[in-house]
Amino acid sequence: MNILEFGAHKGAFCGEAIQRALDAAAAQGGGRVTVPAGEYLTGSLVMRSHVELHLEAGAVLRFTDDFDAYPIIDTRWEGYEQPSYRPLIYAREERDVSITGLGTLEGQGKKWWEAFRAGTLSAARPCLIGLERCERVCLADFKAVNSPAWTLHPLCCENVRISGVTVVNPADSPNTDGIDPESCRNVRISGCHIDVGDDCIAIKAGTEDARQAVPCENITITGCTMVHGHGGVVLGSEMSGSIRRVAISGCVFDGTDRGIRIKSRRRRGGSVEDVSVTGVVMNDVLCPLVINLMYFCGKGGREAFVSDPAAYPVDGGTPHVRRIRMADIVVTGARSAAACLYGLPEAPLEDISIVNTQIHLVEAEPDYPVMNARQKPVTLSGLTAEHVRGLHLADLRIVGARGEEITLRDVQ
With vertex at residue 339, the alpha carbon angle to CA 393 and CA 396, rounded to the nearest 5 degrees, is: 30
Q: Would you give the distance in Å from CA 171 to the centre of its chain?
A: 15
Say whether 209 is catalytic: no
Cα 54 from Cα 411, distance rounded (Å): 53
Yes or no: say if 382 and 337 are a contact pair by the CB < 8 Å rule: yes
The residue among 64, 62, 66 whose CA lies nearest residue 38 is: 62
With vertex at residue 136, the alpha carbon angle to CA 81 and CA 178, rounded to the nearest 5 degrees, is: 55
Type of residue found at 102: L
Q: How many CA atoms lie within 13 A of 42 on its CB side?
A: 31
Determine how many CB atoms are found less than 10 A away from the CB of residue 337: 27
- End-to-end distance of the chain based on CA atoms, in angstroms? 63
Determine how many CB atoms are found less than 10 A away from the CB of residue 173: 20
Type of residue found at 263: K
Name the active-site residue from 141, 198, 257, 284. 198
Cα–Cα distance list, 145 to 115, 194, 390 (Å) = 18, 10, 43
Cα–Cα distance list, 100 to 95, 248, 326, 329 (Å) = 16, 24, 33, 32
Cα 56 from Cα 141, distance rounded (Å): 10
Catalogue the active-site residues: 198
